[in-house]
Each structure stands twice: as structure tokens, then as C-alpha cells.
């Protein structure tokens, strides 16, 4: 984009009297700027280490969507998708841009979201901080230098962590505000330096525009591909092993978090990965460990200021320590970001109740049920004010915070894709066996990898399953390389009566959660869950 065109783009949002505007700087210069401005430290492994301040994760209660003609009758409004008036958004936008005009420096990144050119979205990020510009450059797809001359943004993200809202004046929930305006095609992120808000806001945009406008199924999942071009998808909430299991040295990584499924196959929305680093080790996750080098961005990770040695066990700031790095830092990553139709779809759950089988084959109806349920469990210490050691978490479609449309829109698209392309679907429990959290043991990651490989490679004998009584799940009789005795969860418990009570408890939580979809899904889907 030429200077005049860029100026017009920024002026569209009231940005006219700016200081130095640094456009599409290479990673080395952004690292230099971040260090010069004392935004972060250069770690011993070459990564830039930054801290996000008060907010160390997403702020879902501070996320709003402007309610207007474009969204009024299409968005699934509620606790996740909170409405915000266009007038109030405009007032905050004007004050935020005035704040930016008083800064000495500003950083602009032009990028794409979507590896398939037919569905790619032009994204321009305007950032107060150099390190956030580096984050955006590494996470989104980077245009070639010659493409930047013709770049025109479809959407703009304005990130101003130093600008704090006034809830009484602005009508916000706090000093933090994440607002999506589908008419102006702008995202405004105020009062938080957590860079994940930049990434996830555009994911929310794609979850709105792709199904409605282009018939593409947007997915919160990771994806990899084998030597023969066989594609596997991994759905799962934080802590279920989505990033770990998709980063398989024997396969090629397409992406670790966000993808679309079109008529021609699947494609990555991003050009990088955003992985959790708490307790990261070279032994357990070698691909991620070696991807953290110059150009990567560490968030809230412990650093020795004298030696600059990184401590991945340090959760003193937050357990949600993160790293962002470009896909090319992963050996064997699929640089095109595209693959064919998936042969295997895996739902990952970390069941801390200890009752779900480690592997279950799902019918299309069961796939829709467990996709809409989006179950995992959270443990004591992971969130404040937990009332028990283990609590069930249901995040619709394994990504409720990012779904602007009604959830059944996405579940119908999944069912259609599974039927049309014959993809096999399995539920994989990466959680506990032999008892709940605190009593049983976490299912061995090596065994889980063998189960995943058996699914992907089609080594499970079709129809050779037995039905689990509480959830109606179909458990394979055998999985090559996996001890048969761990496949039946009840058999791993010493106290069978205690297992039955725990299983019924979790089954009732599933049924209670799914009542909200009554009347919105087919009877076959309603009946695909745990029996009463």
C-alpha cells in the first residue's frame, strides 16, 4: 500500500496527527525497538520476553459486539456475545485514537488471516507497543514484500493497552474493553496488553463471516498431515493436549489453533503458533521447545534478569505463560497452511472425574452432541473461587468465547462435513484413569499418542467395539500398542461402586448442560448423549 492509501486507511478511524509510524518492520527491528523502549528483555534462547501487566489472559467479560443492522438478527446474543451500542463504541474509539495521536511512536503490521487465497482476510494491526506488533507479525500470515505495495485491509485491529476506559462514562464492564464492530470492520482493544486478544478477535471475525458469506466451517482446532497427505484435526480446550498431540515429529504440522474447512479441504487461519509454556521441557515437547528462538515472543515467562535464562516452571506471574512463534520455526511445518479433507477428527478432553474412556468411536450424532458440549474439567488452583477439587467445564464447540453465531450453526456444519467426506470421529480422554484427580493417575501421554496414531492411520478394526453403559460410548476392543486393561475406565477403578456414582454424576452434568439445545437440534442428537 502506498503512503497516501495508508494515510487514508488510518484517517478512516480518526488517526490523522500521528508521531513516527513504523510500518511492517522486520522482526529484528521490532525486537530492537521493544528492547530500546524497555517493553521486554532478550532471553538467553533469543526470544523476546515481555510481560502483559494486570491482564495475563483473555478478558471475556470485557468483550462486546456492536449491535447494529449487520449483527442484530444474526449474532447469538448472551453472556458470551454481549451487545454494545454503535454510539458508545464510537465515543471510545475517538478517545482511543486521540490517545494514540499523543504517542511518539506507533507500529503498523499488514497481514493476512487465512492460508487459502480465496478466503483470506486482509488484517491491519495498529499497535501501541513494538512487541505486540512482533506478536501480530508472527501469528498472522505474512505477505511477501512485493505484496505489501498492493495490500488493502479488510479489517483493522487497534491495540492500545495504555488507554483505560471509564466504566461509568463508557458503559464498559471495567477499564478493559475489547469491541468488535462488523459494520466499521474494526476491533478495538483497550486496557489490556495480553496479545491473545489481538489474535482471538480476528478468529471471532472469521467465525462470523466465513459461514454466512462463504460456506466455510471455521474451527478452533489444530491440524497435521502425514506422508500420504492424510489430515487429522484436534479439537480441545486448554490443557487437553491439543497443541502437544498435533506437534508430532512423525507428521507435518498445518497449524495449532485455528482452521477453516472448505469444499477443497482445510486451511490454517494463521502463520504462527501460540503455545502454553508452563513446565515446557525439551523431552516432552521437543518441537515447541526448539521453536522458541529469535523472533519468538514469550509472555509472562520467568526470566533471570542477570543470566537471561528462561524458567518454564515459573508460574509466579500466571500459569498461562505463552510463546508466539512463526510456523517456519517448526521443522516440517506445512508452509502452504493447507491440506485435504480430514480423514480423522479427534475431540480431546481432560476428564478429571476419571470416568470417560481413553478412546471412544463417535457416530455422527454423537459427534454433534459432544461437539456442542465441548467438555473438559478444570482443577483446583486453576481458577479463583472454585467450590470443589474438580469442576466440569462445557465450552460450546470447544470455543464458545469466539463464536458470534448460534452454536448450532457450527454443529450442523460439522455434521455435514463428516457425512460428506466420511471423516472418522473419536473422543480422546487425556485426563485421569483409576480414580478422579487426586486419587487416580493421568493417562500416560505415550499411550494417548499410540491411540491417536491408531485412529489417524486407520488401524482400529471397524465395528470392533463395546458400548459403555453410562454415556453410550463405543470403546474399541483393542488398540495396537496400548494395554487393553486401560481401555475400560471402570476396570481401572478399585472401587467399582465409587466409579458408578462418579460416572452418573458426570452424566447428569452433561444432560443438564445440553438442555439449552433442546428444540434446536434433531432428536437423534439429543438422544446421543448419556442416557437418563
Q: How far from chain centre, in Å, is Cα 74? A: 23
Q: What is the C-alpha separation between 3 and 493, in angstroms, rounded?
A: 68
Q: What is the C-alpha separation between 492 and 440, in angstroms, rounded?
A: 9
Q: What is the C-alpha separation between 456 and 471, in angstroms, rounded?
A: 24
User: Of residues 74, 238, 363, 382, which has the active-site annotation?
Assistant: 238
* Residue 385 buriedness (CB in 10 A; 0-12 / 13-18 / 19+): exposed
User: Of residues 58, 63, 184, 424, which has the active-site annotation?
Assistant: 58
User: What are the helix (H) ranges across 157-246?
Assistant: 167-170, 196-209, 242-246
- Beta strand 20-23 with 105-113: parallel, antiparallel or unpaired? parallel
- Is 257 one of the catalytic residues? yes
If one counts every other C-beta atom within 10 angstroms of the C-beta of residue 491, the result is 13
Strand order in the sheet with 177-181: 20-23, 105-113, 121-127, 155-160, 186-190, 177-181, 63-66, 82-84
Where does residue 505 fall: left (phi above 0), alpha (psi -120 to 50 degrees), or beta otherwise?
A: alpha
- Beta strand 231-236 with 217-225: parallel, antiparallel or unpaired? antiparallel
| C-alpha cell, 201 | 478477535
User: Of residues 322, 329, 378, 417, which has the active-site annotation?
Assistant: 322
- Is 378 one of the catalytic residues? no
Please state the φ and ψ torsions of residue 326, each to the nearest 5 degrees.
-75, 155
User: Of residues 55, 112, 142, 200, which has the active-site annotation?
Assistant: 200
Length of the chain: 532
- Is 238 one of the catalytic residues? yes
Q: Are the beta carbons of 255 and 219 closer than 8 angstroms?
A: no
Q: Are the beta carbons of 225 and 341 closer than 8 angstroms?
A: no
Please state the φ and ψ torsions of residue 345, each to the nearest 5 degrees.
-125, 125
Which residues contact residue 112 at a Cβ distance below 8 angstroms, ignoring those fewer than 6 apart?
120, 121, 122, 123, 140, 141, 142, 143, 271
Q: What is the C-alpha separation between 10 and 75, in angstroms, rounded?
A: 28
Q: Which of 444, 486, 460, 471 is nearest to 528 (CA)?
A: 471
Q: Which of 219, 212, 261, 172 is nearest to 73 (CA)?
A: 212
User: Of residues 63, 142, 220, 424, which has the active-site annotation?
Assistant: 220
- Cα angle: 321, vertex 322, 327; to 5 degrees: 165
- Is 7 one of the catalytic residues? no
User: Of residues 242, 251, 378, 453, which has the active-site annotation?
Assistant: 242
Q: Locate cell 521443522: which residue?
A: 331
- Is 220 one of the catalytic residues? yes
Q: What is the C-alpha separation between 37 and 130, in angstroms, rounded?
A: 8
User: Of residues 181, 230, 256, 257, which has the active-site annotation?
Assistant: 257
- Is 242 one of the catalytic residues? yes
DSSP calls for 184-204: TTEEEEES---THHHHHHHHH
Active site residues: 58, 200, 220, 238, 242-243, 257, 322
Amino acid at each position: 500500500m502506498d503512503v497516501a492509501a495508508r494515510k487514508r486507511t488510518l484517517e478512516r478511524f480518526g488517526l490523522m496527527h500521528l508521531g513516527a509510524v513504523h510500518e511492517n518492520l522486520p522482526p529484528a527491528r521490532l525486537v530492537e525497538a521493544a528492547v530500546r523502549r524497555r517493553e521486554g528483555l532478550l532471553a538467553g534462547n533469543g526470544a523476546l520476553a515481555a510481560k502483559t501487566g494486570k491482564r495475563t489472559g483473555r478478558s471475556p467479560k470485557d468483550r462486546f459486539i456492536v449491535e447494529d443492522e449487520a449483527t442484530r438478527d444474526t449474532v447469538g446474543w448472551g453472556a458470551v456475545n454481549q451487545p454494545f451500542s454503535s454510539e458508545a463504541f464510537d465515543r471510545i474509539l475517538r478517545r482511543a485514537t486521540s490517545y494514540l495521536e499523543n504517542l511518539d511512536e506507533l507500529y503498523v503490521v499488514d497481514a493476512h488471516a487465512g492460508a487459502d487465497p480465496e478466503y483470506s482476510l486482509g488484517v491491519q494491526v495498529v499497535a501501541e507497543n513494538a512487541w505486540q506488533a512482533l506478536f501480530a507479525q508472527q501469528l498472522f500470515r505474512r505477505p511477501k514484500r512485493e505484496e505489501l505495495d498492493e495490500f488493502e485491509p479488510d479489517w483493522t485491529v487497534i491495540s492500545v493497552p495504555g488507554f483505560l476506559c471509564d466504566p461509568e462514562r463508557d458503559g464498559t464492564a471495567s477499564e478493559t474493553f475489547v469491541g468488535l464492530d462488523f459494520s466499521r470492520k474494526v476491533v478495538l482493544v483497550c486496557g489490556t496488553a495480553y496479545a491473545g486478544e489481538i489474535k482471538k478477535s480476528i478468529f471471532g471475525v472469521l467465525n462470523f463471516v466465513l459461514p454466512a458469506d462463504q460456506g466455510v466451517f471455521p474451527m478452533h482446532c489444530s491440524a497435521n498431515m502425514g506422508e500420504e497427505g492424510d489430515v487429522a484435526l484436534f479439537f480441545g480446550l486448554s490443557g487437553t493436549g491439543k497443541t502437544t498431540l498435533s506437534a508430532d515429529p512423525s507428521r507435518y504440522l498445518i497449524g495449532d489453533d485455528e482452521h477453516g474447512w472448505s469444499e477443497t479441504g482445510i486451511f490454517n487461519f494463521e502463520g504462527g503458533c501460540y503455545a502454553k509454556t508452563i513446565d515446557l521441557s525439551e523431552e516432552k515437547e521437543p518441537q515447541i521447545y526448539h521453536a522458541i528462538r529469535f523472533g519468538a515472543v514469550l509472555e509472562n515467562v520467568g526470566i533471570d534478569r542477570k543470566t537471561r535464562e528462561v524458567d518454564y516452571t515459573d508460574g509466579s506471574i500466571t500459569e498461562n505463560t505463552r510463546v508466539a512463534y512463526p510456523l517456519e520455526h517448526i521443522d516440517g511445518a506445512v508452509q502452504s497452511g493447507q491440506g485435504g479433507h480430514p480423514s480423522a477428527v479427534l475431540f480431546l478432553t481432560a476428564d478429571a472425574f476419571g470416568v470417560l474412556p481413553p478412546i471412544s468411536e463417535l457416530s455422527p450424532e454423537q459427534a454433534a452432541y459432544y461437539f456442542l458440549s465441548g467438555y473438559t474439567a478444570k482443577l483446583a488452583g486453576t481458577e479463583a473461587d472454585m467450590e470443589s477439587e474438580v469442576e466440569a467445564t462445557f465450552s460450546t464447540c470447544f470455543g464458545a468465547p469466539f463464536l458470534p453465531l448460534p452454536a448450532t450453526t457450527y454443529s450442523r456444519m460439522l455434521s455435514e462435513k463428516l457425512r460428506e467426506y466420511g471423516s472418522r470421529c473419536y473422543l480422546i480422554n487425556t485426563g485421569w484413569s483409576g480414580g478422579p484427580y487426586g486419587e487416580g493417575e493421568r493417562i500416560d501421554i505415550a499411550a494417548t499418542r499410540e491411540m491417536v496414531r491408531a485412529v489417524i492411520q486407520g488401524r482400529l478394526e471397524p465395528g470392533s467395539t463395546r458400548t459403555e453403559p453410562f454415556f453410550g460410548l463405543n470403546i474399541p476392543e483393542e488398540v495396537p500398542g496400548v494395554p487393553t486393561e486401560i481401555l475400560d475406565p471402570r476396570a481401572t477403578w478399585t472401587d467399582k461402586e465409587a466409579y458408578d456414582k462418579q460416572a452418573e454424576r458426570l452424566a447428569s452434568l452433561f444432560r443438564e448442560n445440553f438442555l439449552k439445545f433442546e428444540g434446536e437440534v434433531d432428536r437423534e442428537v439429543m438422544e446421543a448423549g448419556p442416557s437418563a
